Structure formats: C-alpha cells, structure tokens
Amino acid sequence: MRTHNIAVIPGDGIGPEVMDASLMVLAAAESAFGFTAELTQYDAGAQHYLRTGELWTSDLEERLRGHDAILFGAMGDPAVKPGILERGFILAMRKAFQQAVNLRPVKLYPGVATPIAGLTPERCDLVIVRENTEGAYVGQGSTVHAGTPNAVAVQESVNTRPGIERVVDYSFRLASSRRGKLTLCHKKNILIEAGNLWQDTVDDLSVKYPEVEVDYVHVDAMCFHLPVAPERFDVVVTDNLFGDIITDLGAVIQGGLGVAASANLNLDGSAPSMFEAIHGSAPDIAGKGWANPVGAVLSTAMCLAQLGEQEAALAIEAAAVQVLAGLPELSGPGMGTDTAGVGKEIAALVGAGLPPVAGRSVMEDLAGLKVK
Ligand code: IPM
Ligand code: MN
C-alpha cells in the first residue's frame, strides 16, 4: 500500500471550508486509486496567533518537515493586522522550506464562464512559474522620518543568481515537456539590475535547452497579452511580485480566484512542498458556504501528482471540471449548492472513470518533472 504522510493546515476564513471539501475528494481518491493519505492537522492562523502569540515556530517547522507534503487552506483575518500572518507564516514557510517555485496553471476549463469574450479552452492553457522566495518578498528595507512629512521608505528587491537559476531551469524543463515555449516576464527596461540578471540567466540556460523557444514580455505588456492572447504563452517565468500580480489576472481569465490552484515546490527534496488555492481567506464570506473549493481541490490534485499519484490527480481534475461546468455561478449564493456540496459532487465522480480533460494537464507536468 502506498502511503503519503500529509500535513493539513486549514487556517482562517474560508480556508477550513475549502479544506474540508478537498479532504472529501482526497478520501474518494484514496479508495478509488488504492493509496493511503495519513493526515495530520495543524492548528495555525489568526485564532491560534491571538491565543498563543505564535506564528511560524521552529517547533512547527520541525514537525512539518517530517511530512511528504503540506495542504494549506488560507490565512488572514481582520482581527490581526494585515501582513502579520501573511509574512509571519506563509512567507516564512515558503522560505524555510525553500519552496522556490510557485507553479500556477492558467487553464480555461470547458464550460467555465470567463470574462474574456470569445476566449476558448484551446487558446488558454499555460503555466506561470513564479519565483517564490526572493525579490521584493524578502522583506528588507527601512523607513526614516516615519510619520513625518519627510518620511523616506526604501523597499529592497533581492535577486540572486542561484535563486533565479533554479526557477529558470525548472521552467525550461517544464517548457521542454510541454509546447516548447518559455517567456520571461519582467520590467528590464526600468529595473535594469534585476532584469539583466534574469535575462542573462535565461540566455545562459537556453543553451542547455535548444528545443525551447525563448521570448520576453514586459510585465505591463503581459497585462494586455495575457487576457487578449493567452495562446501566445506556454510557460511564463517571472519574479515573485510580478508573479503575484499576473497570476491573479490569470485566475480571472480562467474563471476567478475560486478556480485557480497552485503548488509551492521545494526542488531539492530538503523539505515538503506546499499546495494551496491562490485565493486568500475571504473573511467577508467565511462560514456561508459560498466559496468555490475547486481551487483547493485542484491544488490537492497537484499535491497527489507531485507525490506520484498521477492517475488520481487526473481523475480529480476531470471530476472537478465536470462539476464546475454544471455550476450556475462560480461562487456565492448563486452557485446552486454550497462549498461542501461541490466537494461531495466531485468526490462522487472521482472513481467514475471520466476521460481526462483535453489538452496538456499540469498534473502530468508535475508527475513527469519529479523533483528530488
Ligand atoms: C499569494 C498571496 C500571498 C502572496 C499572500 C497571502 C502572502 O497573495 O499566494 O499570491 O502575496 O504571495
Ligand atoms: Mn497573490
């Protein structure tokens, strides 16, 4: 029996709801595909912080390190000052576990309403590789004369050759196994120091991957091309902050934040990877059952693909897509059912032998590009 030892962090807001739905789907996949997921739940997030003052502790780090993977719900709550949990927990985890790549597919599934008129699934099937530990997210900088009319804030963006190289190399491998096209997204006409380092790294590594066609697009131009002509892209590699921004745009194109999934990948086997929907904790709708759990469910499928359960991952994707196509609205009171209802419907279809979704699946990408 294959056993996967998975940590579960439901977190705040809609995190626990979408996690519950994902775990129903995971349980269905276990029985349909003959593996065992040994789950350990960890209490973390706003309530835990307010009660204990604890964010990311070395004790938690040590316990989480022993797992094969981490499923993460969402974190953030109006009772805690913005940024405390985000930086103190999410970014701390990404950094401590060197989750260098944030893999975010932008795939328009059949039957899903997109705000982009005339866009079809065939034209929208790409993956964004967001650098996940550096850039403006290092949290370095300083403010002098704070709170005065002469205040000066310096916010640093740190870019290292090894940090860039590992995500660019991963992106080349990914592009090589997909349609063979890699686009660097940056702002090298203005941010010349960082931009040149990114471009040099892409140029240097491209020699190793002659089969991959290389392209470059400025991040502002990306905001035009991504919605209007997503077929131009196969794999996009980008800096942490640009990646944060353009993946929200990508999510909108594919039907909204409720649908978008992500994998925070540790590439050297030194620590577990972490899987989360790209949406936040949405405290305004928490507890109402209005959240669409598909982003979380697909993130769980990405986790299984990464753990070698490709068949189960593809089956979850197919089931989620079928259910998604039947929802009158993608979230909110008009969804036709609630968060748990969507989870149950997907779970019921996981073992049904549905054909895989058309096109290249990120589940195959993850299974094929097994990291150490
Ligand atoms: C994301 C989120 C996070 C980020 C926040 C919650 C720290 O927006 O995963 O995209 O900025 O990376
Ligand atoms: Mn974001």
Each residue of 148-191: pLDDT tens digit? 999 999 999 999 999 999 999 999 999 999 999 999 999 999 99
109, part of any domain: no
Residues 142 and 175 in one domain: yes
Closest C-alpha residue for ligand 1 atom 12: 244
Task: Return the ligand 1 atom nearest residue 87 CA.
Answer: 7
Is the predicted pLDDT of residue 370 greater than 80, yes or no? no
For atom 8 of ligand 1, the residue with the nearest CA is 244
pLDDT band at 1 (very low <50, low <70, confident <90, very high): confident
CA dihedral for 222, 225, 230, 235, sign (positive or negative): negative
Q: Do 265 and 249 lie in a common domain?
A: no
Closest residue to atom 7 of ligand 1, CA basis: 86
How far is residue 183's CA from residue 198's CA, in Å, rounded to a whole number? 12
- Does some domain include residue 104? no
130 with 74, same domain: the answer is no
Q: Which atom of ligand 1 sits closest to the CA of residue 76?
A: 6
Q: Is 86 in the pocket of ligand 1 (CB under 6 A)?
A: yes
Q: Are residues 225 and 265 in the same domain?
A: no
220 and 311 share one domain: no
Looking at the structure, do residues 69 and 191 belong to the same domain, yes or no? Answer: no
Q: How many angstroms separate the CA atoms of 194 and 216, rounded?
A: 14
User: Best of 9, 72, 75, 86 to mutate for ligand 1, by most ligand atoms within 8 A of CB?
Assistant: 86
Residues 244, 151 share a domain: yes
C-alpha 257/C-alpha 293 separation (Å) is 10
84, 90, 93, best to mutate for ligand 1 pocket (most atoms within 8 Å of CB): 90
Q: Are residues 204 and 149 in the same domain?
A: yes
CA-to-CA distance for 319 and 348, rounded, in angstroms?
A: 8
Q: Predicted confidence band at 372 (pLDDT cuts at 50, 70, 90)?
A: low
Other beta carbons less than 10 A from residue 282's beta carbon: 21
Q: Do 55 and 15 lie in a common domain?
A: yes
Q: How many domains does the chain have?
A: 2
In angstroms, rounded to a whole number, what is the distance separating the alpha carbons of residues 372 and 369?
A: 10
Residue finishing a domain among 254, 289, 305: 254
Note whether residue 144 is domain-resident. Answer: yes
Q: Whose CA is nearest to atom 5 of ligand 1?
A: 86
Whether 84 is covered by a domain: the verdict is yes
Residues 228 and 147 in one domain: yes
| Assigned domain for 227 exists | yes
Looking at residue 128, which CATH number applies to its domain? 3.40.718.10
Q: Name the closest ligand to CA 104.
A: 1
Residue 106 lies in a domain: no
Residue 132 within a domain: yes
Ligand 2 centre from 246 Cα, in Å? 9
Cα 322 to middle of ligand 1, angstroms: 28
For ligand 1, say whether the CB of 90 is within 6 Å of any of its atoms.
yes
Question: Model confidence over 82-133: pLDDT tens digits?
Answer: 999 999 999 999 999 999 999 999 999 999 999 999 999 999 999 999 999 9
Domain boundary among 228, 254, 280: 254
Q: Which pLDDT band, with edges at 50, 70 and 90, does 339 fall under?
A: very high
Q: Are residues 86 and 139 in the same domain?
A: no
Q: Which domain holds residue 187?
A: 114-254
If you measure from the C-alpha of residue 211 to the centroid of ligand 1, how many angstroms do you get, rounded to a whole number?
A: 33
For residues 119 and 234, state if they share a domain.
yes
Mapped to the 3 state alphabet, what secondary structure does the chain carry? CEEEEEEEEEECCCHHHHHHHHHHHHHHHHHHHCEEEEEEECCCCHHHHHHHCCCCCHHHHHHHHCCCEEEEEECCCCCCCCCHHHHHHHHHHHHHCCCCEEEEEEECCCCCCCCCCCCCHHHCEEEEEEECCCEHHHCCEEEECCCCCCCEEEECCECCHHHHHHHHHHHHHHHHHCCCEEEEEECCCCCHHHHHHHHHHHHHHHCCCCCCEEEEEEHHHHHHHHHHCHHHCCEEEECHHHHHHHHHHHHHHCCCCCCCEEEEECCCCCCCEEEEECCCCCHHHCCCCCCCCHHHHHHHHHHHHHCCCHHHHHHHHHHHHHHHHCCCCCCCHHHCCCHHHHHHHHHHHCCCCCCCCCCCCHHHHHHHCCCC
Domain boundary among 224, 254, 284: 254
What single letter denotes the amino acid at residue 355? P
Give pTM, 2 decimals: 0.97
221-278 pLDDT, tens per residue?
999 999 999 999 999 999 999 999 999 999 999 999 999 999 999 999 999 999 999 9
Position 371 pLDDT exceeds 80: no
Q: From the CA of 132, give the closest atom in ligand 1.
A: 12
Q: Which atom from ligand 1 is nearest to the alpha carbon of 94?
A: 12
Tell me the pLDDT tens digit for each residue of 290-336: 999 999 999 999 999 999 999 999 999 999 999 999 999 999 999 99
Ligand 1 atom nearest the C-alpha of 102 is 9
